[in-house]
Structure 1
């Protein structure tokens, strides 16, 4: 399955929660990811982007069920 289709198969509300709960090592807190790309990974999907607060690079793994 295409990685974008995998991402869009997740309910919209849950995708929003995932984007708003990414750990930033610079801010040392959960932040919102912005300007992110979606990559396929053996364990699910990985979001790579920037911290909305400080611009530091962040990533979030969304495990496949």
Structure 2
């Protein structure tokens, strides 16, 4: 269980964060960036989606509800 200090330090990933990462990845592909840059942008997007999914699951388990800006 999180202590108050740990909970305050938690990063919250919103749908806007996911949308921005997806846009960055798509723009890298459209611009024809180097494959490494495209892969890195995709990895950031993928990690944010995964982290948000975990965050949503944790919130739902703890409260039985979902925040409005997630999921």
TM-score in terms of structure 2 length: 0.26
Structure with greater helix share of residues: 2
Structure with greater strand share of residues: 1
Structure of larger gyration radius:
2
